[in-house]
Structure 1
């Protein structure tokens, strides 16, 4: 059963920005002021909602929620796109009885086209009547683009004898390789938190979740993860024990959601869990997991259930990581196929056949006795991915 944090309401409406016959506008609203944290794309082309969201948070981390549209990214739309974004917030806030700086904007979809602001004017009066405290799944569906299923996760812990609840949702299936995927994520929490700590905590959790996945190596103009904490539970994160418990729950929610993105990769059929250990540094290990996870040759072999270790060691070798090739050991699950710079003898194809048939495939690379480690989850690359993205705008 969904465990919805205290004091939050959700709405999902059909605005007709690009899609017809489905909801494409979501509202996440705290009934009381909430502390907001956010991490945004590092892409040089930053969408209008990213620019405006940063401006709002630079003024104050106390907001009431987020409004998210699907279908149009409002990216690369110039000064006009930024004004459209600001006007959309003014319209929404007017009918919700809020200030426009109380809402953080997000958009996802096609890059380039501007909003039809008449559609915003038509849908804004419907926002407040649509609010419900039991509709996060509808909101998660409304922000989908090429996603096959809504992505939502929740959990509850006890702090000081009281429950603290957290619920997260995200969208994303393609254009995924976060460097902070197209991805948007939102987490609601009912604990009372310090704004600076909440921002630092979200960034740490993203580094261990959303920043550890890849579908196609692309980062978007709109990538955003936001987290809200409104204190409605009566629990204050003012001790190390409480902070650690809340951070652990946030990390769990983020990791559940990020795994769903790779699981739902456009055309994807498998998830590769790549781990590099023994590297000279964490940075070297990360270079290697990204090179392997983003390699089209590795990903197509995964789709074909082919344990082609040569493609993996080749990707490792061109990753830019510093290591001794004679020390590299590679295994699929617990089966070592390449050790100390040379292949292991035996009928590896037969041994690995049952492993490669699974949806989740473990790839472990050891480089030596260094302390550097990194992990990543990557999808396979399929014919359907090409079809989806060749026809995306049609």
Structure 2
């Protein structure tokens, strides 16, 4: 995988949740980088979210590192949690890093305080492993219920030369876009202005991580952090459009992997809303269908139950006339003018519902807004994973 220049990686096995697995990762830029961040809108914001936001507000052009742990969310932990989070950044001074130049992120069980004695023991391992680990090692270290590491990369030829981007993320459950319900990290070796980098990240998140759902839950720890260290060439003018296009592709690749993983999920449901009265209505319609347990279990069971789709759409709050709505599954019109289209849908759609990706098209005929949302199905495995998450 193509890795942007000027970045090094390190991981450590700390035993935050279970022994024998890497659960702490560190990304270090060899030079100060321009940083951007998008964070959860959940009112209960985890300590690392609060600390990272504070660091970015004080100075987003001199960031040197991102440190991420799994197994401990450090959420709903009060002032002690914030103090512990800042203390973990101070510990990394042993690697020559200023605490104010490190962005923290955490994932895991909500409510537990960080095990600071384990963090202290981890610092020598991080120092020893720096530069010896790769992006795959980082992606593995931040996994919780993920079944595979999630990575994406691009190389872009600009007028001034070649730049590289790479991203990794974690996420499989507690996924409902209201920012980006997961942890995501993007690295780039282009030189950019902070204001553009931040705005580009927001735009790309809206079209990727904000356009997926697994179970309707928005986490306390969500964040997408992006570093651009300028060790390659500077992006200016029309080159910025090419760079943003590559950034969007990486975000969309990673977002798809989250829905594909989905804690026991077997299918990706691509919900295409067209003709909504507003973008807000398009969101309401798509999320009502994508988050419906009845629609999701029908998808898992390969059941073309259009009634569940229509019922979810009807309670979504989106504006439309019921007789104008058209519903298609896998490109076949199954509902229109307020009634089902008569056919042997169990037979006609049997093959399509066995596919990994199933399209559900909703024509509202109420305006011009449109939106595509990716959602997962629900399986027995999802219940098992989340029933046993803490135990």
TM-score normalised by length of structure 2: 0.98
Distance 2:33 2:388 in 1: 40
Conserved in 1, the CA contact under 8 Å of 2:319 and 2:366? no
| Larger deviation, residues 44-53 vs 152-161 | 152-161
Tell me what 2:9 maps to: 10
Total equivalences in the alignment: 390
Report the 3-state secondary structure (helix = DSSP H, G, I; strand = E; otherwise coil) of the residue aligned with 1:225: strand
Distance 1:126 1:386 in 2: 36
Residue 272 (structure 1) aligned with residue 269 (structure 2):
yes
Conserved in 2, the CA contact under 8 Å of 1:8 and 1:133? no
Distance 1:7 1:24 in 2: 23
Deviation sequence 1:149-198 (CA, Å, 0-9, x none): 00000011100151110000000000000201551000000101110111
Tell me what 2:73 maps to: 73
The residue correspondences of 1:305-344 to structure 2 (distance < 5 A) are: 305-344=302-341
Tell me what 2:287 maps to: 290
Alpha-carbon offset, residue 369 of structure 1: 5.7
Tell me what 1:390 maps to: 387
Distance 1:357 1:242 in 2: 42
Deviation sequence 1:182-239 (CA, Å, 0-9, x none): 51000000101110111110000000000000000000000000111000112x2220
Alpha-carbon offset, residue 116 of structure 1: 1.4
The residue correspondences of 1:1-394 to structure 2 (distance < 5 A) are: 2-62=1-61, 63-92=63-92, 94-132=93-131, 135-181=134-180, 183-234=182-233, 236-239=234-237, 241-368=238-365, 370-394=367-391
Alpha-carbon offset, residue 370 of structure 1: 1.6
Distance 1:282 1:271 in 2: 22
Conserved in 1, the CA contact under 8 Å of 2:160 and 2:235? no
Question: For the aligned residues, what is the CA RMSD?
Answer: 1.0
Which segments of 5 or more consecutive residues in structure 2 lack a partner in the other structure? none
Distance 2:53 2:260 in 1: 30
Alpha-carbon offset, residue 262 of structure 1: 0.3
Alpha-carbon offset, residue 283 of structure 1: 1.0
Distance 1:145 1:134 in 2: 19
| Larger deviation, residues 129-138 vs 76-85 | 129-138
Deviation sequence 1:252-278 (CA, Å, 0-9, x none): 000000000000001111100001001
Distance 2:134 2:80 in 1: 33
Conserved in 2, the CA contact under 8 Å of 1:181 and 1:218? no
Conserved in 1, the CA contact under 8 Å of 2:214 and 2:375? yes
Conserved in 1, the CA contact under 8 Å of 2:321 and 2:366? no
Conserved in 1, the CA contact under 8 Å of 2:181 and 2:209? no
Conserved in 1, the CA contact under 8 Å of 2:39 and 2:180? no
Which segments of 5 or more consecutive residues in structure 1 lack a partner in the other structure? none
Alpha-carbon offset, residue 133 of structure 1: 6.6
Alpha-carbon offset, residue 128 of structure 1: 2.3
Alpha-carbon offset, residue 70 of structure 1: 0.3
Distance 1:195 1:338 in 2: 48
Distance 2:180 2:382 in 1: 16
Conserved in 2, the CA contact under 8 Å of 1:108 and 1:182? no
Conserved in 2, the CA contact under 8 Å of 1:46 and 1:75? yes
Conserved in 2, the CA contact under 8 Å of 1:172 and 1:181? no
Change (3 A) 1:68 1:381: same
Alpha-carbon offset, residue 313 of structure 1: 0.7
Conserved in 1, the CA contact under 8 Å of 2:5 and 2:231? yes
